[in-house]
Amino acid sequence: MSKILFTKGHGTGNDFVLVLDAEGALSLSKPQIAKICNRHFGVGADGLIRVVKSSALPEGKAILAEEPGAIWFMDYYNADGSTAEMCGNGIRVFARYLLDRGLATITDGGTLPIGTRDGVKDITKSANGFAVDLGRWKLDGESVVEVSGLDVARPAQGIDVGNPHAVVALASDSELAALRLLDAPTIDPVPENGANVEFVVPRDPMVQHGVGHISMRVFERGVGETLSCGTGIAAAALATRYWAGSEAPNQWQVSVPGGVVGVRMFATEDGEHVGISGPAELSFDGEIDLATL
Active site residues: 87, 229
Answer for the pair 229, 259: CB distance below 8 angstroms, yes or no. no
Q: What residues contact residue 185 under an 8 Å CB cut-off, 6+ apart?
A: 145, 146, 147, 197, 219
Query: How many angstroms from the chain centroid is the CA of residue 85?
Result: 9
Kindly give, in sequence order, each residue whose CB lies less than 8 Å from that of residue 204, ignoring residues fewer than 6 positions away: none
Where do the DSSP E strands lie in the chain?
A: 3-11, 14-20, 47-53, 72-78, 112-116, 119-126, 129-136, 138-146, 154-160, 164-169, 186-188, 196-208, 211-220, 224-226, 251-256, 259-268, 271-278, 281-289
Q: Centre a 10 Å sphere on the Cβ of residue 240 and count the other Cβ atoms it contains.
A: 25
Task: Kindly write down the DSSP assignment for every residue of 253-282, as one continuous string.
Answer: EEEETTEEEEEEEEEETTEEEEEEEE--EE
Q: Which pairing describes strands 186-188 and 47-53: parallel, antiparallel, or unpaired?
A: unpaired
Strands 211-220 and 224-226: what pairing?
Answer: antiparallel
How many other CB atoms are found less than 10 A from the CB of residue 142?
11
Torsions phi, psi for 70 (to 5 deg): -85, 70
Sign of the torsion formed by the C-alpha atoms of 250, 255, 256 and 260: positive
Task: Give how far the C-alpha of residue 157 lies from the chain's centroid of Cα atoms, to the nearest Å.
Answer: 18
Contact predicate 86/134, CB 8 Å: yes
